[in-house]
Structure 1
């Protein structure tokens, strides 16, 4: 029986691993599901968002967002998503223009911006929310149906995949009825619209402007102004990496494998190289083996009641993975093209976290990178 570097690596890092962690560290990026890079094209919602971005001016971006996502017209209240008004408005698209006494109580709605960013996965709408409390409320509204779910301070961005845009849907209905006045919209919707969710669902990125991973500038020995710029760039590139893996591999999950990949891209695209010390700090491992409680790593734990032994093993694996990713980056040098960036992401996707963290992790990444870069890219 042939023994490969990959199988040796899995055995090495998998020794003594609990079933819980074995399942957690299974690689979710399947090469069999991978789409060619040529298919990473702009989707139907982009043209609408280009219009929104063009129409947005200082102070009116939030009004445009409320027009698209009527849940932003509701306050953050436990169980509000079960009320008749919410169901009619958000799930059925009725009463979207009705005025309500209680809505989201944002501190700086005028500071919100809508932009279109050109990423390796195509264009993507980016919503910049400068106030931290406003960011949390918007995430609670769009992601948690206006329920007061706690948002960790270490969370500063989110890629929302497949959210209904009622403005697009109403516009589609109006255009269709104008051209088909004698036909039934409900029949058209069930037959031709509902099966084609790209006609009315969006993928958007929402970004805060706070320090990345809730890590202070002083702890990284850089200026506040510099760290603010770096934080925004890392955050944006990080979410675009998630968008790439979602479109190419069909996966972008709340998992440390995804985060290692996305942070690698965020850091290297921002400062030109992978800073291992920054990455350890982002995960709360700057003083390993001591872990800084409340750090971002907790956002991706397999469960909230992970045993001490499992947590200790997990942090060891992540620390070793970060070290080997740093060696991989040192070997390759600065990212010099979109093809180079895509090949690095492909390598990081195809090598599991346990393999990356192994003694041969750097070598395995370089093998997969060379395979990827040798293929024809767009």
Structure 2
């Protein structure tokens, strides 16, 4: 990363330089693994388990099945629920047979939750769609925040969970091993051979809501409500598929604006075939740049960064210019042609830092990396 500042695309009035905090936030943490090839994005080991589970399933039973896989979904959303002995026995130790709760999570619209395996550029993954926004919040609080009532931003509508313990898969492993080793020590086996091999019992799962994307209404974009609902679900799904791709190829999918601009770019072009920078600016609360709309999605990704007000002003300029350059890049490469094309676009956006994307020649730099990657993929 080039730590000199400001770059040409940044407001000349911000010539005093960039703080260490903003430098740290903007550092490009994507590290290319040269061993990864296009054929390496195969299904994860748990996909067979999901195939078998879904074959036995009707929509009405989705939530009940998930409660069996993830015992925390049996517990209320209350402060310090995760401190209860019953909770720890069920969630951490897999002792689910004796769980008997007089009060448990009740959903508003459990019967319309859907769960399907979806194909992505990085392989198949289960996708859970939750139509009711209160149900979406409860499930995220249970699975991400250990049943604590942590507020979920209204602009958050999807998540890729990686490393989610699946009690059902663990219990199957234990049962099969004990049948073959009736006098063996399961605890020793778990510590030695199961625990280090996390793919045996940890899931990847995408959870989507159906609310307006980025909490942006259809009227803000001049769209029909039903059309915008369909677009919102599509953008969310492809957005999370992009996070799955970067997780598998670069080893990360983080809540950073670099990641988010990439994932939104793919989400938009996979939904309407062309990048719409007006949408993207609105998603980030920059539709009236340089004014920022408070409460917009952008602030979800900087909570831990400890940025000053001057840092924030510099950051929104960088984001605005990056969006402009991504739009130029997209126009020059044209409509998405193939999965390989999609991968090369993601790789170009990953391999170039956010500051470089926002620079005066950001679109040219993206094109150069894109064509290098595309040419390399042909041979």
TM-score relative to the length of structure 1: 0.95
Shift of 1:99: 2.5
Contact 2:344–2:373 at 8 Å: present in 1 too? yes
* Contact residue 34 and residue 248 of structure 1 kept, 8 A: no
State whether residues 70 and 166 of structure 2, in contact with CA within 8 Å, keep that contact through their aligned partners in structure 1: yes
Q: Secondary structure at the match of 1:375?
A: helix
Partner of 1:223: 224
Kept in 2: contact 1:277–1:286 (CA 8 A)? yes
Distance 1:179 1:321 in 2: 57
* Cα separation, 2, equivalents of 1:63 and 1:7: 51
Number of the residue aligned with 1:128: 129
Give the secondary-structure state (helix, strand or coil) at the position aligned to 1:334.
coil
SS in 2 for 1:31: coil
Q: Tell me if the contact between 1:125 and 1:205 (Cα under 8 Å) persists in the aligned partners.
A: yes
Equivalent-residue separation in structure 2 for 1:326 and 1:8 (angstroms): 25
**Could you say which residue in structure 1 is the equivalent of 2:46?**
45
Would you say the 8 A contact 1:9–1:360 is kept in 2?
no
Measured in 2, the distance between the counterparts of 1:86 and 1:67 equals: 14
Residue 322 to residue 330, structure 1, CA distance change in 2 (3 Å): same
Cα offsets for 1:178-231 (capped at 9, x unmatched): 222232212221221111110000000000000000000011111001000000
Tell me the distance in 2 between the aligned counterparts of 1:230 and 1:212.
Answer: 8
Counterparts of 1:352 and 1:231, CA distance in 2: 27
How many Å apart are 1:282 and its aligned residue?
0.4
What are the equivalent positions in structure 2 for 1:72-111 lying under 5 Å apart? 72-96=73-97, 98-111=99-112
Contact 1:37 1:377 in 2 (8 A): no
Contact 1:158/1:206 (8 A) holds in 2: yes
8 Å CA contact 2:86–2:99 kept in 1: the answer is: no
Distance 1:34 1:290 in 2: 44
Q: 1:249 matched to which residue of 2?
A: 250
What is the aligned partner in structure 2 of residue 320 from structure 1?
Answer: 321
Query: 8 Å contact 1:9–1:354 — kept in the other structure?
Result: no
- Write the distance in 1 (CA, Å) between the matches of 2:42 and 2:6: 35
CA separation in 1, counterparts of 2:98 and 2:126?
Answer: 23
Q: Does 1:184 align with 2:185?
A: yes
CA distance in 2, matches of 1:52, 1:218: 40
Conservation of the 8 A alpha-carbon contact between 1:89 and 1:95:
yes
Cα separation, partners in 2 of 1:208 and 1:311, compared to 1, 3 Å: same
* SS state at 1:150 partner: coil
Partners of 1:32 and 1:65 lie apart in 2 by: 34
- Aligned pairs (5 A) from 1:114-193: 114-193=115-194
Q: Give me the whole-angstrom Cα distance separating, in 1, the residues matched to 2:88 and 2:218.
A: 43
Tell me which residue corresponds to 1:23. 24
Q: Give yes or no for contact 1:126–1:204 (8 Å, CA) kept in 2.
A: yes
Q: Which moved more, 1:245-254 or 1:10-19?
A: 10-19
When normalised by structure 2's length, the TM-score is: 0.95
Residue 350 of structure 2 corresponds to residue 349 of structure 1: yes
Aligned partners of 2:40 and 2:157: how far apart in 1?
Answer: 29
- Root-mean-square deviation (CA), in Å? 1.9
> SS of 1:365's equivalent?
helix
For structure 2, the 5+ residue unaligned runs are none
**Residues 245-288 of structure 1: CA deviation (Å, up to 9, x unaligned):** 00000011110000000000000000001000000000000111
Q: What do the CA deviations read for 1:267-325 (whole angstroms, capped 9, x no partner)?
A: 00000010000000000001111111100001001547632211111111000000000
Contact 2:112–2:130 under 8 Å retained in 1:
yes
